[in-house]
Structure 1
Amino acid sequence: MKLARFLLSREGFISVLCYTVTAVFSFLSFSPANLPFFVWFAPFGLFVIEKRNRGEWKKLIYHGFGFAILFYLVSFHWIYHMTTVFGGFEWYLAVPIFLGSAILLNFKFPVFLVLFSFLAIKVRRFFPLIVSFAVLVSEFLTPQVFPWYFGNIVAENHILAQNAEYTSAYGLSGFLFFVSYFLFYIRKPKRTMRLISKFSSIMKKNKIFAKQMFTGLGALVFVLLVFFGNGFYLYNKWNHMKPIAERDVLIVQPNAPLEFRDGRNPAEEIRNLMTRIDRMVEQELKNKPVDLVVLPESGVPFFTTHDSEITRAMRIYWHQFESLMAIITLRHGANLYFNELDADIPEEKRGSRISRNDIRTYNSSVLMSPNGERKNSYQKVFLLIFGEYMPFEWMYALSGQTGQFAPGSKLDLIPYYEARKTPSTVAKDLHWEDTFGLSPNSVREHYRTNQVEEKQIGSFLPLICYEVIISEFVRKFEGDPDFIVNVTNDKWYGNSVESYQHHTLGRMRAIEFRKWIVRSTNSGTSVFTDHLGRNIDNEFTPIESTATIRKKVAVIPGEMTFYRLYGNLLSYLFMGIVGIVFFFYVKRNS
């Protein structure tokens, strides 16, 4: 009742308007709308609320929750779809989960408002610096499983985006709020004219005021020059960097089914899927070979090519799956990277009696060499809550759809091999229908004359789904990859903006690592991104459809960038130094 009265009041209307400005302007600035003009005004809603409620801590916290919920509704509305479809929750459970996650995963808003207001009262100056400090602290210290990072919106500008090589998206967030507060301060034309008039008259009389004005304007000019200047330098430096090699890569987007609760026949759907993958690959590669074929996450769901006692006992090993993967590699002489379900038991349990509860299942991706041999695999480490695991054991009973996956433990690059350069020598090529009567070993024997000497020519960095958006996680991989491969299944989110947002959040890794990204999705949007964060030919595959896309991926000379070496060091230094300065101001003014 109290909330309803507030929302119907003038104060409530202004508050909701502020929430809306921040949420809608942020959304419009980001992919797929891509209207970056709005990003500079998106924080205005936060600034207005803080100014109107300065020092009223309880109100600021409540307003922070208001920002969190509306921001979530506008920008991340697809999470509700994920909770019901991916998680399998009924609506009466999905709604509280959605609202709870909206507050928890956007706790940065109340933290920002309270910290900004506290420092505004205690420091009483350096307001652009205060907002930069406050937004960085709030983003670093609050949970963000689905990080938006305001800096990713700024990165829609290709020049400014290059600064991510040093600062990641966090530094761009601080830059955005610094500039935005200056714009907020001069937002009213009459006030601006009065300031100019007052400035010219006082300049002659008050040297202290003149010094402060010059300091403020000088700081703005300096920050703009640093970010735009450095961005321009890095853009030109890397734009003229010559690759040491190129790899032909084909992405196959099969639009595989997610589940069969709608009554479809699973066996028929899977057979159709395998036929579709076989034909799509052959159509693309019959006369135009490639080095690497990439299938997405869940491109062939529910099964594995890993033949072991555990996978056979769980009935997830499917010899026809392995046979088709071997046919594709041997028929076309290419590397094939695909996703599968995998399972094993802990090392300490081997050799002893085990139960079903001892078995660990993984979201895994595997490379098969041009000779049809199953090589290195990568098990997903950063699992997705409410889809691949539940935070509490008792919650699994609420959703029959949620998986119980174990996180992988290795962060190794995936080696790949030289493709076969000669045409196939067999009299008859094999296809999906042949797998009904041929084992994987029979397939390899059929193509024995096609086999070549295995020669490793490089490696790539494997990422599955949302792992690509966690910059701190990605830099844990060691070694110098030729490029990054991100396989994902965004079909759980329907025909929404999620797929574009997911990619935009992930493409920053291309700048941080100065490596190309191959993004392979089950149902769109698949795309190639270069080491400058540019989407090649701006070509995205359509959502909820089958498609193929191929490009030549440039192998950029190995160089450990600043971010790979030092991570968020610059952001930590900024927060540390500015925090110490603010501490003395707070102590002096208390």
Structure 2
Amino acid sequence: MKLARFLISREGFISVLCYTVTAVFSFLSFAPLNLPIFVWFAPFGLFIIEKRNRGEWKKLIYHGFGFAILFYLVSFHWVYHMTTVFGGFDWYLAVPIFIGSAILLNFKFPVYLLIFSFLVKKVGKFFPLIASFSILFAEFFTPQVFPWYFGNVVAENQILAQNAEYTSAYGLSGFLFFVSYYLFYLKNPKKFLHFLSLIQSLITKHRKLAKQLLVGIVSLLIVLVLFFGNGFYLYHKWDNVQPIAEREVLIVQPNAPLEFRDGRNPAEEIRNLMTRIDRMVETELKQKPVDLVVLPESGVPFFTTHDSEVTRSIRIYWHQFESLMAIISLRHGTNLFYNELDADIPGGKESARIIRNDIRTYNSSVLMNPNGERKNSYQKVFLLIFGEYMPFEWMYALSGQTGQFAPGTKMDLIPYYESRQTPSNVTKDLHWEDTFGLSPDSVREHYRSNQIEEKTIGSFLPLICYEVIISEFVRKFEGDPDFIVNVTNDKWYGNSVESYQHHTLGRLRAIEFRKWIVRSTNSGTSVFTDHLGRNIDNEFTPIETTATIRKKVSVIPGEMTFYRLYGNLLSYLFMGIVGLVFFVYAKRNS
């Protein structure tokens, strides 16, 4: 009842309006709408709530959760879809999970309001660095499943986005709140005119106050010049870098089914899928070969090409899957990167008596070389909650669809090999229909005359699904990749903005690494992004359909960027310095 009375009151109306300003303006600035002008006003809702409730800690906490829930409803409404489709929860369980995740995973809002209000109250005057400090602290030290930052929205500006080479999205968040707080302070035209007259008055009568005011103005100019100037410099520096090589890459978006609870025939659907993949690849490559073909996460769901005692015992190895992958790579003389299930037993021990509870399953991606040989693989390290694992064992009983995957332990680059430069020598090419009667070894024997000497020509950094949005995780990969490959299955989220947001959150990895990103999705949207974070030709594949897209990926000369070397050092230094200045100021004025 208290909540209902609050919502229909004038105070409640203003509060919800503030929540809406922050949520809607952020959404308008973000993918796929990309209207970055709104981002500079998005924090206004937070500033107003803090000002109206300054020092009232309990109210600020409640308002923080209000921001969290409305922000989730507007920008991340697809989480509900994920919970029902990916997790398999009924609506009466999905709703509380959605609301709970909105609160628990957006603690940044109440934390920001509390810290900002505390510091503003202590300082007692306009001090915009506090706004930057507070948002950085909130974004660094609150839990998240889908890591998103206000800086990701700022990065829709191509010039400002280049600063991610030094600070990732965090520094852009701090910059946004610094500038936005200035705009908020001067939002009233009368206050702005008063501000100008105050400058004139202070210059002639109060030199000490004039110096303080001048420091504020100069600090704003310095920050603006620093971020825009550095972004402009980096943009032109990297735009003029000449690639050391180019690799022709084909993305195949097969729109594979998620599951078969609607009564469809699984065998028929999988046969149609395999036929579709075979034909899509042949259509694209018959006359125009490539160096690498990339299939998405769950491009062929439920199966593996890893032939072992364990995978046979749990019936996930399918020889026709391996045969088709070998046909594609041998027929076109290309590297093929695809996703599969994989399984083993801890310690690598296999025996005649395999106990199912001992088996670990993985979300895995594998490279098959131009000779049709299964080579290096990568097992997903960061698993997705409510889809690939549950936080508590008892929750598995609530959803019969959630997987129990084990995280991978290795973070190695994937080598790839020189493709065949000559046309196929065989008189008859094989297709999916031939896999019914041919084993993988028979396929390789059929194409023996097409086999070439194995020669490694580079490596790429493999990421599965939302791993690409976790900057601290991605920088742990060692070595100098030619480019980044992100395979994902966004079909779980339906025809929503999720796929565009997912890509935008991960796009900054291209700038942090100064490497191209090849993003391959099951049902859209797939895209190529260069080392400046630009989406090539602004060409996105449509959602919930089959498609192919191919580009020449530039291999940028290896260089360890500041962020790869030092991570979030600059953001921590900034928070430390501002915290120290505040401490000294508070001691002097106590």
Bin for the TM-score computed over the shorter chain? over 0.9
Q: Distance in 2 between matches of 1:566 and 1:352?
A: 49
Q: Give yes or no for contact 1:122–1:585 (8 Å, CA) kept in 2.
A: no
- How far the C-alpha of 1:352 sits from its partner, in A, is 9.3
Does 2:338 correspond to 1:338?
yes
- How far the C-alpha of 1:375 sits from its partner, in A, is 0.1
- How far the C-alpha of 1:353 sits from its partner, in A, is 5.9
The amino acid of 2:273's aligned partner reads L
Q: Partner of 1:560 in structure 2? A: 560
Report the secondary structure of 2:59's partner residue. helix
Report the secondary structure of 1:25's partner residue. helix
Does 2:22 correspond to 1:22?
yes
Does 2:93 correspond to 1:93?
yes
- How far the C-alpha of 1:541 sits from its partner, in A, is 0.1
Q: Give yes or no for contact 2:166–2:512 (8 Å, CA) kept in 1.
A: yes
Superposed CA offset, 1:340-385 (max 9, x none): 0000000075569652111000000000000000000000000000
Q: Partner of 1:451 in structure 2? A: 451
- In structure 2, list runs of 5 or more residues that go unmatched: none
Superposed CA offset, 1:246-293 (max 9, x none): 000000000000000000000000000000000000000000000000
Report the secondary structure of 1:127's partner residue. coil
- How far the C-alpha of 1:483 sits from its partner, in A, is 0.1
Q: Distance in 1 between matches of 2:332 and 2:576?
A: 55
The amino acid of 1:377's aligned partner reads S
Q: Distance in 2 between matches of 1:258 and 1:130?
A: 47
Q: Distance in 2 between matches of 1:201 and 1:246?
A: 62
Q: Distance in 2 between matches of 1:580 and 1:261?
A: 58
The amino acid of 1:269's aligned partner reads E
Q: Partner of 2:234 in structure 1? A: 234
Alignment of 1:252-271 (within 5 A): 252-271=252-271
- How far the C-alpha of 1:126 sits from its partner, in A, is 5.3
The amino acid of 1:331's aligned partner reads R
Q: Distance in 1 between matches of 2:197 and 2:481?
A: 58
Q: Partner of 2:386 in structure 1? A: 386
Q: Distance in 2 between matches of 1:76 and 1:25?
A: 14
Q: Distance in 2 between matches of 1:423 and 1:383?
A: 41
% identical aligned pairs = 85
Alignment of 1:116-515 (within 5 A): 116-125=116-125, 127-347=127-347, 350=350, 354-515=354-515
Q: Give yes or no for contact 1:80–1:94 (8 Å, CA) kept in 2.
A: yes
Q: Distance in 1 between matches of 2:43 and 2:312?
A: 55
Superposed CA offset, 1:437-462 (max 9, x none): 00000000000000000000000000
Report the secondary structure of 2:128's partner residue. helix
Report the secondary structure of 1:507's partner residue. helix
Q: Partner of 2:584 in structure 1? A: 584
Q: Give yes or no for contact 1:119–1:586 (8 Å, CA) kept in 2.
A: no
170 and 352 in structure 1: CA distance in 2 versus 1, 3 angstrom threshold: farther
- How far the C-alpha of 1:124 sits from its partner, in A, is 2.4
Q: Give yes or no for contact 1:458–1:481 (8 Å, CA) kept in 2.
A: yes
Q: Distance in 2 between matches of 1:201 and 1:512?
A: 46
Report the secondary structure of 1:550's partner residue. strand
Matched positions, count: 590
Does 2:537 correspond to 1:537?
yes
Q: Distance in 1 between matches of 2:7 and 2:475?
A: 45
Superposed CA offset, 1:394-443 (max 9, x none): 00000011000000000000000000000000000000000000000000
Q: Distance in 1 between matches of 2:126 and 2:477?
A: 39
Does 2:114 correspond to 1:114?
yes
Alignment of 1:27-38 (within 5 A): 27-38=27-38
The amino acid of 1:113's aligned partner reads L
Q: Distance in 1 between matches of 2:554 and 2:382?
A: 27
The amino acid of 1:153's aligned partner reads V
Q: Distance in 2 between matches of 1:248 and 1:217?
A: 50
Q: Distance in 1 between matches of 2:213 and 2:587?
A: 25
Superposed CA offset, 1:286-333 (max 9, x none): 000000000000000000000000000000000000000000000000
The amino acid of 1:114's aligned partner reads L
Q: Distance in 1 between matches of 2:262 and 2:406?
A: 28
Superposed CA offset, 1:206-231 (max 9, x none): 11221111111100000000001100
Greater CA deviation, 184-193 or 450-459? 184-193
- How far the C-alpha of 1:202 sits from its partner, in A, is 3.2
Q: Give yes or no for contact 1:289–1:332 (8 Å, CA) kept in 2.
A: yes
Q: Give yes or no for contact 1:107–1:143 (8 Å, CA) kept in 2.
A: yes
Report the secondary structure of 2:264's partner residue. coil
**TM-score, normalised via structure 2 length:** 0.99
Q: Distance in 2 between matches of 1:350 and 1:321?
A: 23
Q: Distance in 2 between matches of 1:209 and 1:54?
A: 26
Q: Distance in 2 between matches of 1:111 and 1:352?
A: 55
Q: Partner of 1:46 in structure 2? A: 46
Q: Distance in 2 between matches of 1:26 and 1:564?
A: 28
**TM-score, normalised via structure 1 length:** 0.99
- How far the C-alpha of 1:585 sits from its partner, in A, is 2.5
Report the secondary structure of 1:22's partner residue. helix
Report the secondary structure of 1:560's partner residue. coil
Q: Give yes or no for contact 1:337–1:367 (8 Å, CA) kept in 2.
A: yes
Q: Give yes or no for contact 1:528–1:551 (8 Å, CA) kept in 2.
A: yes
440 and 354 in structure 1: CA distance in 2 versus 1, 3 angstrom threshold: closer
Superposed CA offset, 1:435-494 (max 9, x none): 000000000000000000000000000000000000000000000000000000000000
The amino acid of 1:490's aligned partner reads D
Greater CA deviation, 293-302 or 211-220? 211-220
Q: Distance in 2 between matches of 1:356 and 1:167?
A: 45
- How far the C-alpha of 1:201 sits from its partner, in A, is 2.4
Q: Distance in 2 between matches of 1:504 and 1:187?
A: 30
- How far the C-alpha of 1:203 sits from its partner, in A, is 2.4
Q: Distance in 2 between matches of 1:500 and 1:459?
A: 27
Q: Distance in 2 between matches of 1:397 and 1:576?
A: 46
Q: Distance in 2 between matches of 1:415 and 1:380?
A: 17
Q: Distance in 2 between matches of 1:351 and 1:586?
A: 68
Report the secondary structure of 1:426's partner residue. coil
- How far the C-alpha of 1:7 sits from its partner, in A, is 0.6
Report the secondary structure of 1:198's partner residue. helix
**Superposition RMSD in Å:** 1.0
